[in-house]
Structure 1
Amino acid sequence: MKSRIHSLLALVAAITFAALPLHAQVKVGDLVQADVLDGGLTKRGTYMTALRLTLSDGWKTYWRAPGDAGIPPQFDWGRSQNLGHLEITWPTPHVFDQNGMQSIGYKTQLVLPVEITPADPSRPVQLRGKVEVGICKDICVPGTLAIDHQLDAKAGRNPAIAAAMAQRPFTEKEGGVTSATCRLSPVEGGMRLQARIAMPSAGGQEVAVIEPGSPRIWASQTETRREGGALLAVSDLIPVTGGPLAIDRSAIRITVLGKRHAVDIRGCTPG
């Protein structure tokens, strides 16, 4: 209960930082530059591209699950042309201690690979939309970055995109995961999820991040510890708007961040 209250207070603190009057004087465009990298067509006929965010010195931005002190990025590609399917590959993020609160994200630069399947292979793809981001240092500055770029089908292999793809977390097989179970128990206002993951150490002090698989469910900062060959991760899952809570174990995503590598685990079984 205490950990959940601490996490909720941390979330309130992050929102408060985002609302500081100083933001009227600081624009996100002054702190981060956004551009699109071209990687040409793959053998599957998809476009390989990437969104690159270059940050000012000392500033950082956030992962898809940013922790209690972070601001998650939001993407809107609704104005794009000939966009069929879009798949993002997130490079392994860093864990930061932000005023005693844990946040997860990137510093200096983020290259976010995006693979795009055109709706009509015979026509070009215009990637057009906006990205809502939070940029933090001593304060957090939320803002919107505009994207408008026609993808280059003739572009060659891009080393920056290849490097970002190589920084993705390991799959369960690559990370040596042999099982992942989740036990649910009721807590005030929601459910407590205890995951037990049989896997070798990812190196150093491991941090597990639990994503509940629904934007309507809030997950507290995970408590992570080792028990021999297994990693235990505990998080409280709370419905954002109150009311009943349904947990789909197959939709749960657990990312283990270690010193040597990260491991991406999709779903867990009862246990």
Structure 2
Amino acid sequence: MRPPLFSLLTMLVLPHQAVSQSYDNLARVEVLPGWRTDTNDHVAALQITLKPGWITYWRAPGDAGIPPHMTFTGSREIESVTPLWPTPQVLGDYGMISIGYMNGVTVPLSIDLSPDAGVAEIAGEITIGVCEEICIPVTVAFESLLPLDGNPDAAITAALASQPVGAAEAGVQDVTCQVSPSQDGLQLNAAIAMTGLNGGEHVVIETQDPSIWVSEAVVTQHGNTLSAKVDLMHPSGEPFGLQRDGIRITVIGEGRAIDIQGCRAG
């Protein structure tokens, strides 16, 4: 199985900034400067507001989506930034599944500051896909000071509260992964034993290497076990390795998502 043509065309279109800038009125991006933590790190957010009825995508958007990409060049007193994506929705795009957000999203940022940092500055660009009847990559620049005396922000707090929960908290009892060769790469079968299944759960599987293409999961349920089967392919077409402790599985269900880190051999 190979990546759909839509996904391959998206990879080609995405870097062309001139295309996205022609449509940058579709999305507004604002930095919410947030607050300094007790450990002298910082919590901020990017608030993405779209035209009504438009959608944008989660970090693993599915074959019908455009993956978001952030850069933070131009920042000062910042060593690293980790986006914390809130629980997304499963959306249908003309018979294809995508994962994302309607009308916009607030993405908290966990910011590791330089030692003894005072007032820091975050600056960079975000490229996102925005879709209604058509899908367009949009690139927006952002910058903001991150003050020492910032206060907790209600929008950031709400977005943090809507993060996927961990495996233990969600009642996940066991996760196994069987990996076998396929015609184009590898096939992975994950079995997730857990409580609280409602039926209709969607499963997304990611690897540590973002260049590896992962198909949409075929999901079945047998009692309290979800099974998810995906195909994986390296863009070079060459053989590649897969570390089970680097596999990330997200189960998206009614009003919640579960973030599972790693799996054991099945």
SS at match of 1:173: helix
Partner residue, 1:129: 124
| 1:91-118 superposed Cα distances (whole Å, 9 cap, x missing partner) | 0001111010111011112100012121
CA pair 35-25 structure 1, distance change in 2 beyond 3 A: closer
- Cα distance, 1:225 vs structure 2: 1.2
Q: Does the CA contact (< 8 Å) of 2:65 and 2:99 recur in 1? A: yes
Partner residue, 1:190: 185
Partner residue, 1:212: 207
User: Does residue 81 of structure 1 match 2:67?
Assistant: no
Q: Does the CA contact (< 8 Å) of 2:27 and 2:138 recur in 1? A: no
User: Does residue 245 of structure 1 match 2:240?
Assistant: yes
Partner residue, 2:250: 255
CA pair 244-151 structure 1, distance change in 2 beyond 3 A: same
Q: Provide the C-alpha distance between the structure 1 equivalents of 2:121 and 2:6, rounded to a whole number of angstroms.
A: 39
Partner residue, 1:8: 4
| 1:44-65 superposed Cα distances (whole Å, 9 cap, x missing partner) | 2111110000010111111000
Q: Provide the C-alpha distance between the structure 1 equivalents of 2:23 and 2:42, rounded to a whole number of angstroms.
A: 29
Q: Which residue, 80, 90, 95 being the options, matches 2:90?
A: 95
Q: Which runs of 4+ in 1 moved over 4 A?
A: 12-16, 23-26
Q: Provide the C-alpha distance between the structure 2 equivalents of 1:185 and 1:101, rounded to a whole number of angstroms.
A: 26
CA pair 25-115 structure 1, distance change in 2 beyond 3 A: closer
* Alignment coverage as a number of residue pairs: 263
TM-score, normalised by the number of residues in structure 1: 0.91
User: Does residue 171 of structure 1 match 2:166?
Assistant: yes
| 1:66-100 superposed Cα distances (whole Å, 9 cap, x missing partner) | 00010001111122111123222110001111010
Q: Which residue, 135, 144, 163 being the options, matches 1:140?
A: 135
Partner residue, 2:221: 226
Give the superposed CA RMSD: 1.9
- Cα distance, 1:178 vs structure 2: 1.2
Structure 1 portions without partners, runs of 5+:
none
Partner residue, 1:268: 263
Partner residue, 2:44: 49
User: Which residue type is aligned with residue 225 of structure 1?
Assistant: T
- Cα distance, 1:156 vs structure 2: 1.1
Moved more, 151-160 or 114-123: 114-123
- Cα distance, 1:10 vs structure 2: 4.4
Q: Provide the C-alpha distance between the structure 2 equivalents of 1:45 and 1:25, rounded to a whole number of angstroms.
A: 36
Q: Provide the C-alpha distance between the structure 1 equivalents of 2:69 and 2:235, rounded to a whole number of angstroms.
A: 18
- Cα distance, 1:24 vs structure 2: 5.8
Percent of counterpart pairs with the same letter?
37
Partner residue, 2:195: 200
- Cα distance, 1:202 vs structure 2: 4.3
Structure 2 portions without partners, runs of 5+:
none
Q: Provide the C-alpha distance between the structure 1 equivalents of 2:68 and 2:190, rounded to a whole number of angstroms.
A: 26
Q: Does the CA contact (< 8 Å) of 1:10 and 1:101 recur in 2? A: no
